[in-house]
Amino acid sequence: MPRRRPLRLVLLGTAAVLVLAIVAVAAVAATVVRRPLPDHGGTADLAGLEAEVTVLRDQRGVADVYADTADDLFRAQGYVHAQDRFFEMDYRRHVTAGRLSELVGENEEALAADKVIRTFGWRDVAEQEWEILAPETREALTAYAEGVNAYLDATPTESLGVEYAVLGLQLEVADPERWDPIDSLAWLKAMAWDLKGNYDQELSRALIFATVRDVGRVNDLFPRYPQDVNAPIVTEADVSPTAASVDAASDQPGAAPADPDGTLLEPELQQALDATAEVLGAVPHLVGEGDGTGSNSWVVSGEHTVSGQPILANDPHLSISAPGIWTQVGLHCNDVGPECPYDVSGFGFSGFPGVIIGHNAELAWGITNLGADVTDFFLERTNPAEGTYLRDGEQVPFETRTETIEVNGGPSEEIEVRTTVHGPIISDVMDLGRVAASPTADGSRRTTEVALAWTALEPGHTADAVLAFATASDATDVAAAAALFDVPSQNIVFATTEGQIGYQAPGRIPLRARVLDGPVPSDGTWPRPGWDSRYDWQGWVEPSSMPAVVDPAVGYVVAANQAVTASGSQPFLTADWDYGYRSQRIRDQLDDLLADGTRVDVELTNELQNDAWSPYAERLIPSLLDIEVDAFTEEGVELLRDWDQVQGTDSAAAAYFSAVWAKLLELTFWDDLPEDQWPSGNSRWLAVVERLLDDPESAWWDDRRTVNVVESRDEILVRALTEARLELTVELGKTADEWQWGRLHTAAPEHPVLGGEAAPGPVRELVNPSPLAVPGGSSIVNATSWDAAEDSFAVTAAPSMRMVVDLADLDASTWVNLTGTSGHPGSVHYTDQFSAWAEGETFPWPFRREAVEEASSRELTLRPTD
């Protein structure tokens, strides 16, 4: 898949000069930058309140809200989110509605994003969801919107965010539209898109096959999950007794497509697949993307903790941005009861009510990406002239609609969206997918295009699930909430103050029928022939059949994106997992602690979250040390001999090893694969290289760019060691033992609109935090991922927050956010957690009102208006 980049606003030359002037003149800067900063103290009127609401903020600006009614609670949360992050909310709703061009003006990337998202119809689906939600969920969303709008009514546009002042230098910036509950629901589609399953791998198989034209070689690059080495989340003995076998496909990725009619090599199809990759790369990623997007979570029973009660840890690995993805908040009913049931604290999203991850007074829960396969690409044989597509030998008409995209300061654009029974045609969105139609035997003409089937394009109940988790108290409640959590499919770990721990897999998972005589496997690993209805989805896995475990005998649960259950277990969820090196490291560390009789506490759990030991080093270094190199290169190799394999910021060995790994992937695969399929270096590529190391004469080792030479494994290893030594000499200096991983590996969050190179330097300095050196790397517990195909070791995804919950004393829990709670670059709370996050530190997380009051530094009273 193409490497994706956030949208970057292209500032016009005149505007750039004006922005420079604004930032350079202190008086103007103070006005423009500080004007949006909200008042976190005193009193303010909030229309619609039934009674006064108290908002307490700690020294990092984190808000705890106290109200008499649930409606007032969410109304106040909307107000607080608008205070702190309204531009982020406004940006997100423009993206999810396919209206980004209305906000940022004429911009190729914005227009492309709008076309794709309008084709998907995210907001249309959100509008359908509104009709099926529980009444209390609609009430919460409505109250939240009223709180946002109350702040908008009281605040001029230029005081909502400095971004509006910058945009106003090149565009006509209208007052923001009022917030609508559908704006909140549409955000869930962005979350689901970024956290969907194997669509990258499915499309990659087809694109790689077009180059290597050998199914066996494609399968070399997608090995089976190594379950004999890296354990799944739950074993067969742990699976809930209610989990039943279902009739899902059992094909494995090693199964070769028969392709009797040459489907996968049709020229029209290959062009359509290339176009599909370009289309999908145009979607802005608001949560995370691709390699490195995952999470760690685990829970340890009280049998093994200092306190005698469970401890739960979670740190979702998502894209880094400024501001960070999460907001921290506490939502508390003054008198908790049936009419006002909320007493919850944790991490949420600006623009959406409630808490996504956190704890209440009885239960804590963490979320990691399950990675279930919830998308399929359907190949459609179409007749563009007739507006039809092939289904079981008959031509049937598309459903069509026209979308008009408004562009601020430019002409509007219209697109026609065509939809099949499988989903929208996406290969033609940017006029890239259609080619000259091929003649058929009956004289008609056809082409092959690509439709996307995705579970999130059906209305669901995820919004109901968010509120259900906030009031859950035990495993039964968790299962009920998980049954509503349609998309994205996530792993849920939980613990209760009664001592219960467990795991639950939620999600709407498609059932795929077995097709034994078709051109491709029917397990979702390859694009599917849409003209054959046997490949259609057959319904959904029943929630009661999803894997679950309560109080496992081992005394802990680890869910870190590895396989959920052993191969062959039902229901079939996917064939494309994270390969489990990170999850196994957590399990091994816990096993060692428990074997030694060491009892786990919050501090030890925090240490494990920051573990930077590299499974790559353990597996590759023995082969590297067997290679003979020249004296100059040996100075680098020597760093690896006694290395503890910890990728710390000061480690010279970590810098060299990472450079060798990147170079090894380049020399082995770049000559064989299209550029957009070059290895990222994630866990799949470690599994691939591990196997190749045992096959020194494999054709993959040969560098086809060299003439009349066929390289073997050892020759490529020598070149990787040598070239990495030379590159780091240029980058970090000649003396190898003075190298430092942190000089290469930095976290540099960027503003999604104003943070790119197109913006003037002073603007970037204002909105982008200064980069910080960080330890860790890809498939490491401290998962600060980087992309081996890029000319940089900079962090692409990382722990977007960290939390540890002590169920014995909730006030002893800890948390940290990536940047800070504020979205205003001029606020002290924009980056006041960033350094602590980079250094692996956390902050106290008070929960009881007495503890919150003791930690508070500001108090805001929201009053009802007459």
In DSSP notation, 566-581 reads -TT-SS---S----SH
Residues of the chain with pLDDT > 90: what percent?
82
Beta bridge partners of 359: 345, 364
Q: Which of 267-276, 325-334, 644-653, 754-763 has the lowest mean pLDDT?
A: 267-276
Determine the Cα–Cα distance for residues 251 and 358; give it in Å rounded to an integer: 37
Q: Is the pLDDT at 252 greater than 50, yes or no?
A: no
Residues sharing a CB contact under 8 Å with residue 272, sequence separation 6 or more, in sequence order:
379, 427, 433, 435, 447, 448, 449, 450
pLDDT value at position 28? 46
For β-strands 445-454 and 438-439, DSSP reports them as: antiparallel
Residues sharing a CB contact under 8 Å with residue 591, sequence separation 6 or more, in sequence order:
none
* Phi, psi of 64, deg, nearest 5: -115, 125
Determine the Cα–Cα distance for residues 226 and 253; give it in Å rounded to an integer: 13
Asked if residue 488 has a cis previous peptide bond (ω within 30° of 0), the answer is yes
pLDDT band at residue 250 using 50, 70 and 90 as cut-offs: very low
DSSP state of 613: B
Q: How many residues does the chain have?
A: 866
Residue position matching structure tokens 């076309």: 115
Across the range 838-846, mean pLDDT stands at 98
Q: Is the pLDDT at 235 greater than 80, yes or no?
A: no
Q: How far apart are the first and last CA of the chain?
A: 56
Closest among 824, 865, 853, 862 to 75, alpha carbons compared: 862
The residue among 239 and 377 whose pLDDT is bigger is 377
Across the range 308-312, mean pLDDT stands at 98
pLDDT value at position 2? 46
pLDDT band at residue 249 using 50, 70 and 90 as cut-offs: very low
Q: Is the pLDDT at 18 greater than 90, yes or no?
A: no
Q: Is the pLDDT at 708 greater than 90, yes or no?
A: no
Closest among 74, 65, 79 to 139, alpha carbons compared: 74
pLDDT value at position 263? 64
Residue position matching structure tokens 């001999």: 641
- 309 is written with which tokens? 């009660």
Q: Is the pLDDT at 457 greater than 90, yes or no?
A: yes
- Contact between residue 580 and residue 294 where contact means Cβ atoms under 8 Å apart: no
Determine the Cα–Cα distance for residues 719 and 670; give it in Å rounded to an integer: 14
pLDDT value at position 442? 52
pLDDT value at position 310? 98
pLDDT band at residue 436 using 50, 70 and 90 as cut-offs: very low
CA 797 to chain centre: 8
Q: Is the pLDDT at 482 greater than 90, yes or no?
A: yes
* Phi, psi of 780, deg, nearest 5: -105, 150
Q: What global pTM score does this model have?
A: 0.94
Across the range 162-176, mean pLDDT stands at 92
pLDDT value at position 196? 78
pLDDT band at residue 291 using 50, 70 and 90 as cut-offs: low
Closest among 351, 360, 232 to 287, alpha carbons compared: 351
pLDDT value at position 290? 54
Residues sharing a CB contact under 8 Å with residue 46, sequence separation 6 or more, in sequence order:
53, 75, 76, 79, 147, 150, 862, 863, 864, 865
Residues sharing a CB contact under 8 Å with residue 171, sequence separation 6 or more, in sequence order:
104, 105, 408, 409
Helices (H), 460-580: 462-470, 475-484
pLDDT band at residue 284 using 50, 70 and 90 as cut-offs: confident
Q: Which of 37-46, 281-290, 341-350, 673-682 has the lowest mean pLDDT?
A: 281-290
- Contact between residue 553 and residue 524 where contact means Cβ atoms under 8 Å apart: no
For β-strands 311-319 and 294-300, DSSP reports them as: antiparallel
Q: Is 247 helix (H, G, I), strand (E, B) or coil?
A: coil
* Phi, psi of 85, deg, nearest 5: -145, 40
pLDDT band at residue 243 using 50, 70 and 90 as cut-offs: very low
Q: Is the pLDDT at 489 greater than 50, yes or no?
A: yes
pLDDT band at residue 265 using 50, 70 and 90 as cut-offs: low
Q: Is 357 helix (H, G, I), strand (E, B) or coil?
A: strand
Q: Is the pLDDT at 496 greater than 80, yes or no?
A: yes
pLDDT value at position 29? 56
- Contact between residue 65 and residue 80 where contact means Cβ atoms under 8 Å apart: yes
Strand residues in 635-749 grouped as ranges (E): 746-747
For β-strands 375-383 and 528-529, DSSP reports them as: parallel
Mean of the per-residue pLDDT values for the chain? 91
Residue position matching structure tokens 């003439």: 707
Q: Is 600 helix (H, G, I), strand (E, B) or coil?
A: strand
Strand residues in 168-301 grouped as ranges (E): 294-300
Closest among 562, 660, 575, 577 to 620, alpha carbons compared: 660
pLDDT value at position 7? 53
pLDDT band at residue 256 using 50, 70 and 90 as cut-offs: very low
The residue among 434 and 128 whose pLDDT is bigger is 128
Cα distances from 304 to residues 97, 308, 586, 596, in angstroms, run 48, 7, 15, 11
Determine the Cα–Cα distance for residues 582 and 295; give it in Å rounded to an integer: 10
Helices (H), 282-337: none
- Contact between residue 711 and residue 701 where contact means Cβ atoms under 8 Å apart: yes
Q: Is the pLDDT at 557 greater than 90, yes or no?
A: yes
pLDDT value at position 648? 98
Q: Which of 282-296, 304-318, 679-693 has the lowest mean pLDDT?
A: 282-296
Closest among 440, 446, 411, 416 to 428, alpha carbons compared: 416
DSSP state of 179: P
Determine the Cα–Cα distance for residues 535 and 453; give it in Å rounded to an integer: 12
Across the range 136-165, mean pLDDT stands at 96
DSSP state of 304: G
Q: Which of 11-25, 27-41, 354-368, 618-632 has the lowest mean pLDDT?
A: 11-25
Number of H helices, E strands in the chain: 25, 30
Q: Is the pLDDT at 319 greater than 70, yes or no?
A: yes
Q: Is the pLDDT at 93 greater than 60, yes or no?
A: yes
